[in-house]
Structure 1
């Protein structure tokens, strides 16, 4: 895999992990359904325009979340581990094979250091569980009947499919996120597919 594409995947993994310390408080209406500890795996694909050129990439991820820490592992489509990222309130660390770890005070600093621009995906920690902050800063709980929202930071989210549509608060299976611009990236589109639980 070319280095620029590998770096883009790493930055995307860093962005995935970027919500460890930025999540807004939950409303009392959603506290019961929200889980502080989750272990997920899935696939992601990204399409965007940079310097006038259409780019795309894809990979697999694992997401291990506990109170105060998120660990993300990103692998190529063939299963080769590309990077691991750990995010805690004290900072963020990116580890790649045969390279010294990179650290920064926060995930935004780490993405800036890694690629030269910041890809903020604040909120993904909530998105993976079907929540978001809408354009007015109010807590949005997605459902099969109410599956799209524009977030406070400008993402257009659509919760496309669900693990179990009949549960009281279904867990997303596929999430599509789009944004017109993020730094020098244009027309950014991310598709996240979470593997079925169990």
Structure 2
């Protein structure tokens, strides 16, 4: 009996090591499969350039060393390379319309407007104090990597991205709408400290 216990005790570390080795190898193989599935999703969604997103947006950051931000309902209309953000904040807060084309951006609804700039991101930051990664957000909101440079992906148990890291931003996907094929995010949280962007999608309408 004592000999059996000793043999079991001696064999246990080897059995555990074998299990650990098996678990360490498996995710590597799975990651390659998941990455191929993500590429297939991105290939399909890259052709999707006419849609309307209804939801809520929250932005926070710092302006001149002080915390600042805002929130409201969002209607995002994408028409090819042109898009329009209509943000309606609570009473007393900022509401505006941002229209963007390849030729530049126009911001309406603020005092002293309309305001125009060749670059939408710098226009929003200078006028509102909001740092929003608009160039990449079109891809990120669909759960895709943007074409701006290298990106890292982490996947959840359902095979869909839970985190995307690109251009200094960490983009988290707490929830997806899997009733659509391919699936699209229903929550998108982007962080680049001290800046945060929170999107909660209530409805997608693809044309």
Measured against the shorter chain, the TM-score band is: 0.5 to 0.7
Distance 2:94 2:124 in 1: 18
Distance 1:42 1:127 in 2: 15
Shift in CA distance, 162/69, structure 1 to aligned 2, threshold 3 Å: same
Larger radius of gyration: 2
Distance 2:81 2:174 in 1: 29
Over residues 51-87 of structure 1, what are the superposed CA-to-partner deviations in whole Å (9 max), with x where a residue is unaligned? 4443342111101111131011110135998111110
**Matched-pair contact (CA < 8 Å) for 1:154–1:179:** yes
Shift in CA distance, 105/80, structure 1 to aligned 2, threshold 3 Å: same
Distance 1:80 1:51 in 2: 19
CA drift of 1:111 comes to 3.1
By percentage of residues, which structure has more helix? 2
Q: Name the structure, 1 or 2, with higher relative contact order (CA <8 Å, separation 6+).
A: 1
Residue 198 (structure 2) aligns with: 191
Per the normalisation by structure 2, the TM-score is 0.65
**Matched-pair contact (CA < 8 Å) for 1:59–1:76:** yes
User: What is the 5 A alignment of 1:5-44?
Assistant: 30-34=42-46, 35-44=48-57
Match of 2:84 among 31, 49, 71: 71
User: What is the 5 A alignment of 1:158-169?
Assistant: 158-163=172-177, 165=178, 167-169=180-182
Distance 1:56 1:196 in 2: 24
Per the normalisation by structure 1, the TM-score is 0.67
CA drift of 1:50 comes to 4.0
Query: Structure 1 stretches of 5 or more lacking a match?
Result: 1-26, 181-186
**Matched-pair contact (CA < 8 Å) for 1:132–1:141:** no
CA drift of 1:28 comes to 7.6
Match of 2:107 among 94, 98, 118: 94
Tell me, what secondary structure is at the counterpart of 2:76? strand
Over residues 83-106 of structure 1, what are the superposed CA-to-partner deviations in whole Å (9 max), with x where a residue is unaligned? 111100111111116744111122
Please provide the CA RMSD for this pair: 3.4
